[in-house]
Chain A
Amino acid sequence: MAEAFFRELRGDYVENAGQVVTPREYLDYLEPLGSALSRRPDGAGGPFVFQFRGSGGRVVGAMGWVVSAASKRYGGWNLWGVWTDGAIPALALPLCWPDLPDAQKLPALVRRANDDAESLQRRDAWPELLDRMTAMRLHEDEFRAALKAELARLYRSPYPDVRPIEIELEPAMLDLLPWLYLLGPVEPGTAQLLPSRFNGAGYQYIFTDAVPADIDVPGEIDNMVDTTVNDVLQGFRMAAALRERRARPRVSKTKPRSPESIEMRNTTSPLRRPKPPAASALPDDLIPTVLRAVRDVIIIALLSWIGFNVHQLRKSMTAASVPATVATVTSEPEPVVPAPTREERIASALVAQPPQGIRIEASATRDLPRAAVEIFLRRNNCFARTEPVDGRFSTAEQRAIRNCSALTTQRLMRNTTDPHPERTLDWLERTLGVTR
């Protein structure tokens, strides 16, 4: 008999033995899962979708529920769920959600999940699975509003594929998670969902009692959630389209495809099916040609722009009239991509790759010289690294500026309050590795 796709996973805190997990060889990988619940009361916890690379490089996926077992020991936890070779399929969490919180229902859940295992792995079977999903609490206005607000916040995250996005929620709002997982900015097949910190793409949920702040919900998210209430499949397609639009390079001017044309991607699926017929504006075979043409135009425009700038530079550097040696590719360079200024390049590098261990707030890019001084102070242990860089000098930072001998040596300040505009930018450019 073939081995089941999903197999049972259980973990518990056993007195005098410590934390145990079945299968036991996964203990080292699963032990962090419950650590974030240390301060929570007994039984408090939530779902997890987790994947790790075990011995031999084999990817193992796990999905389940982890709760604090504080009554047994501070920091102890229990978990139950399923594990499988490879990542957990994208629709497994929302499909299993109703039964997941109940440890007693685990055997039935494993049985049902295995019944659906083949469909979960086949993209073409997803519409049927999505149709089976009930909209659960989405019919509640308050719940729907909370989902829209949270999705709006998640879609604003700058690095959804690199770092976990933090989700703050009340324990009573755990039902948001499967919807956030399904409709959120990270492809469900690759996203992890954990209460503890992890490295990689996905969501880390943190329990809080604070009421979330109001947020403007973009029309597309509003529309997507409202559609999902009556048609989960359509909502899922809209989310896929939204994710694709976000992932697309900005220079691309191609018309976004309609939600129906978006292929439901499942990176974990071993079975690749032919693409369903797409109802896009262009025939499928023409799209690569058009994309290539756009790319060529952009490359030519960039080369022209570079040539033009080099020419200007040389002209400004030599007093004598020297004939231009750089030939331009075209006589009329098309300003398709506006040339970023030095400040813009530094600002974007600062946001994209902030110095290690230093938090950069968005406002920091408004005043780069001040931000440079703030970073300098933190990198040279003249000021606490935990304080975010915001482009403004606090009283404590002004004190640090006066006392930081490294800053004095570097002569980054003109006086005690004004940073040197050139030197600070030079230093920041070097530090961030920005090429001119």
Chain B
Amino acid sequence: MGLFSKAVDKRCPICGGKQFYSVPVGRADVWHQQVEQIPHWKQARGLPAGAGVAFSEPRLEWDQPTFERATTPSPHVRCLKCASLVPPQFLSELKSRVLLITTGMPAAGKTTWLKCLFNPSSKKHLIAEPTNLISREPYDFVEPYTIANPDPRTAVPILLHGMRLTFQRKKVDVAGIDVKGEVFHQRTTTPDKYMRVLDIIRNLRTMSFSDLLTMFVVPFDPTLMRQNIGQLTAHLTNHPGSRGTWQGVIWTHLDRAQLRDAEALFAFLQGSEDALPLARRVVDGNDEVFDSKFVAAATDIERLVQNTRTWSGKLELLESLTWLLYRIMLAYTLLPSRFGVGKVEFYYSFNGGLGETLVRQSMRLAAVLFAAWDGAGRGDFAGMIREAMRPGAEPQFPVLPCGIEFLPGPEGQANDGDDGLPVWGDLLLLELLRRHG
């Protein structure tokens, strides 16, 4: 018996099943025993029936939805066909439902980024920190794990997650699907899994959502030795203009960029009387990074980078420019407190949306720098970024830059995951709110 009306498109993202059943919450150990009796759960993920499902906690003592039918009302549902736990965001109202696909190579930072984005209880350096204005309510379970404990190593190729984003009276349900990078790298080793993932992505694209966001997670790599997802999966990118899609790059590991040669950087910016002082201030460690000429300075850097035809022989300079970008991003996070306003207020309303102006300009700079790296490494993203940066084009931010290492705690205390930092990862959330505003 289906629980939902057929008039609304409510389908399982894994198999397309349209019927669901409620399940209770039980011990993860029970889940672990039950999944052995339900081979179609693994088959739907391209796993052989005897494959194990990894857990990092040896006793499996946390709670998660089991496979048996609930005898009392339960908010957790499974697909009748493939037994997948479907986060409620996949089944919510069509108008406020957004699908977010993230994919990238192993160790690109997908899970870290998602964890910081969805579970930001004590995170620093975000544009939109948890406030009464913007709230994020993640669905607790990312089967076979939980949002608080997403295990990085698992044979499961696809994880479903969900989050409700609330801004004032607006509510957006973000239904997310995290595609494991190993799937693409090991496509000849585990072809069943690879083919199954492609099927799932194809299935997802036929589902109705108000927005489809495909995010490719690409780590900053000054050696250009690391294969990135764009070089492997051109077929994952959306067909431009085919529907209301939004595709972009999450550019991680920017904190690894170093200032290689300050003099070479100054020489490159010599032609701009606004950009050069900006670079000097950043290199000197001056707290006053932003001034009234920041927009002009950033525009000049963007132009100079775009006008440079080949970057292959100038990677050190490109790395210095990337370092400059990351310093600007860090400096931005100090501004709201200096003006005595909240981060969201600073972004949206303070001084006519000063934050938004600064961020927009920095994002343009990030996009051209990423395109330069991509071009130097013979990547596939340059076309997508060029298209996104045309006047009047969507999206506004084709590249979301962020660090991956967590910043040190106060007084130099040891850092940990709870002090998380994907700098400006929240732009994605702001973009969602803007579109649904």
Contact = CB atoms under 8 A, between A and B. Distances in A.
Given A16-B226, A52-B50, A38 B56 contact: yes
Contacts of B56: 35-36, 38-39, 75
Interface stretch (A21-29, A344-352, A421-429): A21-29
Interface residues of B, number: 48
Nearest to B26: A357
Given A27-B190, A34-B153, A36-B56, A16 B71 contact: no
B53 to A, nearest CB: 6
A185 B52 CA distance: 25
Contacts of A18: 106-107, 181-182, 185-186
Contacts of A20: 186
A32 B152 contact: no
A345 to B, nearest CB: 24
Contact of A54 (B48, B71, B74, B152): B48
A196 B55 contact: yes
B155 A197 contact: no
B47 interface: yes
A16 B105 CA distance: 7
A36 B52 CA distance: 13
Contacts of B155: 27-28, 31-32
A96 to B, nearest CB: 23
Interface string A354-393: 0011010000000000000000000111001110000000
B25 interface: yes
Interface in A46-95: 52-55, 73-77
Contacts, number: 130
Contacts of B140: none
B233 to A, nearest CB: 15
B227 A16 contact: yes
Contacts of B106: 16-18
Nearest to A385: B26
A73 B219 CA distance: 15
A385 B50 contact: no
A199 to B, nearest CB: 5
Main secondary structure of the interface of B (DSSP, over half): loop
B57 interface: yes
B58 interface: yes
Residue from the set A16, A24, A39, A379 with the largest chain B CB neighbour count within 10 Å = A16
A166 interface: yes
A17 B71 contact: no
A73 B71 CA distance: 42
Given A32-B155, A206-B59, A356-B26, A15 B107 contact: yes
Contacts of B36: 199
Interface in B30-63: 30, 32-34, 36, 47-61, 63
A195 interface: yes
Nearest to A381: B72
A205 B219 CA distance: 37
Interface residues of A, number: 47
B181 to A, nearest CB: 7
A24 B189 CA distance: 6
A29 B51 CA distance: 4
A199 B55 contact: no
Contacts of A380: 71-72
A195 B72 CA distance: 36
A35 B105 contact: no
Residue from the set B50, B154, B181, B182 with the largest chain A CB neighbour count within 10 Å = B50
A197 B62 CA distance: 13
A36 B189 contact: no
Contacts of B151: 35, 38, 75
A29 to B, nearest CB: 6
Interface string A2-46: 000000000000011111100011011111111110110000000
A199 B72 contact: no
Interface in A192-209: 195-199, 204, 206
B107 A36 contact: no
B295 to A, nearest CB: 38
Contact of B72 (A29, A359, A406): A406
B48 A28 contact: yes
B378 interface: no
A57 B226 CA distance: 38
Contacts of B74: 381
B102 interface: no
B322 interface: no
Nearest to A21: B189
A20 B106 CA distance: 12
Contacts of B395: none
Contacts of B51: 28-29, 31, 52
A381 B74 CA distance: 9
B68 interface: yes
A204 to B, nearest CB: 7
B59 A357 contact: no
B24 interface: yes
Contacts of B55: 32, 35-36, 196-197
A204 B47 contact: no
B58 A196 contact: yes
Given A35-B151, A74-B152, A379-B71, A357 B190 contact: no
A76 B54 CA distance: 12
A206 B226 CA distance: 36
Nearest to A30: B52
A132 B233 CA distance: 56
B66 interface: yes
A384 B24 CA distance: 11
A126 B50 CA distance: 31
Given A28-B190, A29-B48, A197-B55, 8 more contacts: A16-B105, A16-B107, A19-B153, A19-B182, A30-B52, A32-B52, A75-B151, A386-B63
26 contacts: A17-B185, A17-B186, A18-B107, A19-B182, A20-B186, A24-B186, A30-B52, A31-B51, A31-B52, A31-B154, A31-B155, A36-B56, A52-B52, A75-B56, A195-B58, A196-B54, A196-B58, A204-B58, A206-B59, A359-B27, A380-B71, A381-B72, A385-B25, A385-B26, A385-B27, A386-B61
Name the 3 nearest CB pairs between A and B, nearest first: A357-B26, A32-B52, A35-B54
